Structures are given as C-alpha cells and as structure tokens.
Amino acid sequence: MRFGTLKLVFLPLSACLVIFLWSTTDVAKEAKVISPLAITGDVKQIKLSKEDKCCITARVTLGVHFLNRGSVPVLLFVGKGYPLQGNYLLAGSRDDALHQKYLLINSAWPSSDRPAWQETRGKLDQAIPPEDLIRVIKPGESWDFDTEAVLSIEINGSFDKTSKPWDTIRAVNPLWLQVNFLMWPNNLEKNMLNPKFGRHLQQRWKDSGQLVLENITSQPISMSLPANEF
C-alpha cells in the first residue's frame, strides 16, 4: 500500500528546527502516557541520486508495521494520505537515535488549507468511526504496508551544523532512520495546538477504541547506504 499524494511544504531549516523542537517537546510531555501504538520497519531498497550540485537524494523503500500493544483497539485517521510522514531523523547508532543525537534532520509538513478539509471534517462528525476514514487495529494486531522516505542530504552539511556533510553520513554503517508520522491533521482543527475536534471524537468513539491524535516516531530502523559514485 502506498499513501495518496498530499501537498507538502518543505520548510527552511530554522523553521524545521522550531517545529521539530515543538514536536519532540510535545512527545516528551506525552511520554508519561505510554502510547499503545508502536511503529517498526525494515528497509527494502535504497536508491541514491544527485539531483542538483548541493544535495544527494536517498529514496528509501520501507516496510512499515503499526503494532497495537494495548488492550483496546486503536483508531487511525487514514484519509488524504494520512498517516503522513513529517520528520526524517538519521543517527549514527541506535543509542544516538534514542537520545535524539542526529546526523540529519529533514522535515516536510502539509500546507494549511482548512477550507478544503471541511467536507472531511463533516464526514468524521459521526456517532461511530466511518470505515472509509478510520482504520481499526485490534489489540495484538498490526497494519503492515510499504512506503517511501525521501532524504535530502546536503553535500556540505547544513549551515548551522545540525545536519552533517554527505561524506560524514556515508562513512557510517549502519545508519539508523526514524520516521515521525503525523497521525491527525491540523487542518481539521481551528487551533493546531489544541485539537478540540479530535478530542471530541475521542470521547464520542471511546467504545470503539482509542483515536490516536499525537504524532508518533518510529523505532530506529537499521539501514546501509549502497556503494555509489558520489
């Protein structure tokens, strides 16, 4: 399965760092409550290309597994290309990944287009979760699919040194990739920091399962870059 196309905005590095720090801070606040959903993955293929003189592009085909470790069903929004990939995080070791010490941070976020989402919001505003927009994962079961992560690696590294140069990254084997998934669209909310509509649906649908609203970062995924001429 591959998700549908969704318009993304690639942000300047400074903006990406602000959003990344907000995201990780948000995750830290929610860490006190263990999420029932665990995301793991495995690398199926990596293709490298030099699409301009500044960057190397790594297209990573992933087999992704969304596992429900909890005792109740989890409910996932699956409309309009969701769950959507946000941050790509690359570390030099599994331990570095778990401690948020990264060699590379890439971010891509959906554009704000709330009027186009009003119809989707109306379809969600139902007594029970609509089957065409909400996927149910029962306890102990997983949702498995293929997707693609596209990493942009600056040859000379980022100006603020938060993303390392290409020569530094390609010298590490294996690398450890994490993908941050956006589980609930901000475009459905009037205030992205206060998802009242999502919380309203959580309460309404509690007999059907737990609606996931928070972003979730995958567990570190081992990957080795192929030999190349770059």
Per-residue pLDDT tens for 84-131?
Answer: 998 999 999 999 999 999 999 998 776 667 777 899 999 999 999 999
Q: Which amino acid is at 60?
A: V
User: What pLDDT digit, counting tens, does each position of 15-63 carry?
Assistant: 444 444 444 444 444 434 578 999 999 999 999 999 888 999 999 999 9
In sequence order, what are the beta bridge partners of 147? 62
Q: Is the pTM of this model over 0.75?
A: yes
Residue 130: phi, psi to the nearest 5? Answer: -70, 130
Look up residue 17 and give its two tokens.
């760092």
Q: What is the mean pLDDT of residues 149-173?
A: 92
Element (H, E) at 9: strand 8-9
DSSP structural state of residue 225: P
- Residue 115, burial from CB neighbour count under 10 angstroms (0-12, 13-18, 19+): exposed
User: What pLDDT digit, counting tens, does each position of 119-135 carry?
Assistant: 999 999 999 999 999 99
In sequence order, what are the beta bridge partners of 49? 57
Rounded to an integer, what is the distance from CA 56 to the centroid of its chain? Answer: 21
Q: Evaluate the omega torsion of the peptide bond into residue 83 and state whether it is cis, within 30 degrees of 0.
A: yes
Among 116, 115, 79, 102, which residue's Cα sits nearest to residue 3? 79
